[in-house]
Amino acid sequence: MSSPSRKQEGWKPNLIANSPTGIATIILGPVIVGIVGALFALLYLGVDRKLVAHMQGRIGPPIIQPFRDVGKLLMKESIIPDGSLLWLFKAAPILCLMGSAMLLLYIPMFGQKPLFEGFGDAIVLLYLLVIPSLALVAAGFASSSPYATVGAQREMVVMMSYEFPLAMAIVAIGWRTSHVAGTNPFALSTVAANPIWNIAGPAGVIGTLLLLFVLLMVTPGEVGKIPFDVAEAETEIAGGLLVEYSGRNLALFYIASAIRAFAMASLIVALFFPYNLSSVIGIGVPAPAIVVDGLFFLVKVFVIMFVCIMLVRAAMARFRIDQASKIYLVGMSLVSLVGLVLIWIDTVV
């Protein structure tokens, strides 16, 4: 018997490499997506700083302050500390930014399909999410600073702590989707076509709520925000990982951090809230539908970031490294396992 074709297995033909339009897409598409993602990421960072300041009784910087910070850093000289591992010190911020920007290529954004649809799925995203963290660790060890070394060690501990609940939540959603979608259940476009809330029963809904809670808790640790910013901890280790970085190199880390936060919120939207507004209100004209769905997507991303980053950062203080690790390794791992079991029960009942 002949083996099934790639199309029968759910794969898409490699149109990108076989047409002039496709070649232009693979060259210009990532650049455009990266620039647009960075702009909105910095905008949301400005909104974050402004809202948190108001919640804490402060005026706060203007919303456009992140753009000013990036512009100022790009004009400054990058100082290289004595004793640093030069090539790794310079490569780490580039690797961190590229790894963060690559996330945007596989996540559905603005109500549209991901640019690299059919060439990666949620499992690929799990690997890509590790790249920025590893780049930060490498930056810390390459700096030859005791503060940066401590920050790098803390970053590794936190990263190893939240990886299991993060993977468990994503795998559980894909596994449940596989019961209604025979091909590529882990592709985010497949998840969007089969929203988990539409296919889950009562037990599955409870399990899904637990997994949503897990991802909301993982997000601050993934992007290094309070209360899980132990790797930087300005009041303890003077900035930790990035204590020796300045100028353009620091600007790259700054942009990468903003993009990671935007990408994590977009991933939660894609997994749990992949609905478009245009079909609900009956807009059939393509151009207006794209605008409405894009704005609706931005609203959903803002709500996710407000709940899991802004509110938490305004209300809580920094955890100790042992507290942060226990919360993920024990608390969130148990919650994700319970969510997975409930989703499994939902499939057999």
Spans of all domains in the chain:
18-348
Q: What is the pLDDT of residues 101-120, one digit of tens each?
A: 999 999 988 888 888 877 77
Average pLDDT, whole number, for the chain? Answer: 85
Buried b / exposed e along 290-327 (16+ C-beta atoms within 10 A): bebbbebbbebbbebbbebbbebbeeeebbebeebbeb
Q: What is the pLDDT of residues 244-264, one digit of tens each?
A: 888 899 999 999 999 999 999
| Tally of CB atoms within 10 A around 159 | 21
- Nearest-Å Rg of the Cα atoms of the chain is 21
What is the Cα–Cα distance from 49 to 34, expressed in whole angstroms? Answer: 22
Q: What is the pLDDT of residues 178-192, one digit of tens each?
A: 888 767 888 888 888
What is the Cα–Cα distance from 340 to 173, expressed in whole angstroms? Answer: 9
Of 224 and 333, the one with more pLDDT? 333
- pLDDT higher than 50, residue 2: no
What is the Cα–Cα distance from 161 to 155, expressed in whole angstroms? Answer: 10
What is the Cα–Cα distance from 168 to 343, expressed in whole angstroms? Answer: 12
What is the Cα–Cα distance from 105 to 109, expressed in whole angstroms? Answer: 9
- pLDDT higher than 90, residue 46: yes
- 12 pLDDT band, cuts 50/70/90, is very low
- pLDDT higher than 90, residue 70: yes
User: What pLDDT, on a 0 to 100 scale, did the predictor assign at position 20?
Assistant: 59
* Residue matched to tokens 């997000």: 219
Question: What is this structure's pTM?
Answer: 0.88
- 323 pLDDT band, cuts 50/70/90, is confident
What is the Cα–Cα distance from 241 to 156, expressed in whole angstroms? Answer: 11
On whether the CB atoms of residues 316 and 277 are closer than 8 A, the answer is no
pLDDT above 70 coverage of the chain, percent: 91
- 14 pLDDT band, cuts 50/70/90, is very low
- pLDDT higher than 60, residue 159: yes
| Tally of CB atoms within 10 A around 221 | 27
Buried b / exposed e along 114-125 (16+ C-beta atoms within 10 A): bbbbbbbbbebb
Structure tokens at 233: 């901890």
On whether the CB atoms of residues 62 and 50 are closer than 8 A, the answer is yes
- 22 pLDDT band, cuts 50/70/90, is low
User: What pLDDT, on a 0 to 100 scale, did the predictor assign at position 150?
Assistant: 86
User: What pLDDT, on a 0 to 100 scale, did the predictor assign at position 315?
Assistant: 83
User: What pLDDT, on a 0 to 100 scale, did the predictor assign at position 8?
Assistant: 39
What is the rounded average pLDDT of the residues 71-90? 86
User: What pLDDT, on a 0 to 100 scale, did the predictor assign at position 21?
Assistant: 63
